Chains A and B, each alone.
Chain A
Amino acid sequence: MMEEKKGGTSAGGVVLPFLLGFVAALAFGWWGVPQLLFSKKTQPLVFTHQNHIELYGMSCDDCHSFRRDGSFSGLPDNAKCAECHSFPMGDHPDEIKFVEEYYEKGIEVPWLVYQYQPDNVFFSHAAHREYDCATAGCHPDVGSSNELPVYYENRLTKYSRDTMKMKDCERCHATVAAQEPERFAGAPNACQTCHK
């Protein structure tokens, strides 16, 4: 009997380190690895989409517009911002910083883009116009927020953590093309639809 009891305690003593190690490994994997892998970056200037939309009645298209040839202009340049901000409109330090350090010196603001895709991806904004940028899951919902989210840069690949992943594109392309092949004839899950 004594021997059996001894065996039981020693088994518990063997399991415990494994359990601790398992928890430690999980903690490292879920919390530690992202900390190591991504560096945090902040945008060069404070920008609030919400104010522009709610206080000044602007729409997304005012800055993020399509050119006549169908291409998407993306982020506005200095000239676009300077239509209103050629001199500091308020007393926020970033207002003054924009005018003095970027606009007057002719340097474009180095905005960090959360969704830049790799070089071998062709993405057409024109084809995805009817989808809401935020609810379709492509972009973080910055339009209704007062501050820009933290930019996480992958230290190895230098891509943003929020770059849309291929599986997200694929999931949508596979379903829409299957559901309404007539309407989405140009959007099958074919590789060349997105890759160049």
Chain B
Amino acid sequence: MVLYLKEFKIKWGMVIDLDRCTGCGACMVACQAENNIAPPVDASNKRYSMTWLLVYQLSNKQPYPNHDVAYMPRPCLQCGKPNCVPVCPVIATDKNQEGGIVSQVNARCIGCRYCMAACPYHARYFNWQDPVWPEGMEKTLTPDVSTRPRGVVEKCLFCHHRYMYARDKARIEGRDPNALNEGDYIPACVEMCPTGAMVFGDLQNPEHKVHKLSKSPYAFRLLERLNTKPQVYYYSKREWVRKQGDNYLEHETVGGV
């Protein structure tokens, strides 16, 4: 059970610059292709949609000349105190590996969906239907990601297989697999982001860009007051974006700045 903050020497994390994100959705596409998420049979049915990474639209709700929008990509936030972990009756999800990625072993999941109820970020998805790929597309599946059957919960794992391969490469080159350089391991969405809005690295390592960015006064975490300590930071110089990121009421001021 994880009800306390899990500390790791390595903490993989992301800083997403919401002022740079154009909402193009390349990260969503990259995620779907990389992680063998089947194309939806009926995309109009939002309750059955599978998108480990979702781009939300934020609006400051002001009339025209002052109107402003921001786009917010939301992967699994890999919380330091994950709500999904203590509620799992079969320990299919856990945060116990160096790197601080909240794991999800789909083969172990019994589909009770307690984790989905517990996650305040809606980062988990339930397979209502068996995945169906168009004929021939099975050849494009990533062999390092298992496909999930109907009846299990799945989520973003920061492309965990890429982490494993980065470690293997380091081992073969005679480097320490626990001291990866920046860029050795990046998830598909970060690699694909055309504007460079997503930055990935070790939050604990001062040599990584995310370390500095996450400490910026413009950085915030989603619903920070829930105290889940996510390892995904957002970054925006616009105050209204930071306010919405934590559901601030109108009369409240944003902490930090």
Contacts and interface: CB of A to CB of B under 8 A. Distances in A.
A190 B144 CA distance: 18
Say whether chain B's binding surface is mostly helix, strand, loop, or mixed: loop
Nearest to B102: A192
B145 A196 contact: yes
Interface string B194-220: 000000000000000000000000000
A124 B164 contact: yes
Interface in A89-128: 119-120, 122, 124, 126-127
Interface string B72-99: 0000000000000000000110101110
Interface residues of A, number: 21
A69 B9 CA distance: 25
Interface in A116-157: 119-120, 122, 124, 126-127, 129
Contacts of B178: 185-186
Contacts of B171: 70, 126-127, 129
Contacts, number: 77
Contact of A71 (B96, B97, B147, B168): B168
A129 B98 CA distance: 21
Contacts of B97: 188, 190, 192-193
B124 interface: no
Contacts of A196: 144-146, 160-161, 164
Interface string B141-154: 00011110000000
Say whether chain A's binding surface is mostly helix, strand, loop, or mixed: loop
Contact of A69 (B94, B96, B165): B165
Interface stretch (B53-61, B103-111, B126-134): B103-111
A81 to B, nearest CB: 24
Interface of A: 66, 68-71, 119-120, 122, 124, 126-127, 129, 185-186, 188, 190-193, 195-196
Given A191-B105, A196-B164, 13 more contacts: A69-B169, A69-B172, A70-B169, A120-B107, A120-B146, A122-B161, A185-B9, A191-B92, A191-B94, A192-B105, A195-B103, A195-B105, A196-B146
10 contacts: A69-B168, A70-B165, A70-B170, A70-B172, A124-B167, A185-B178, A188-B96, A192-B94, A192-B104, A192-B157
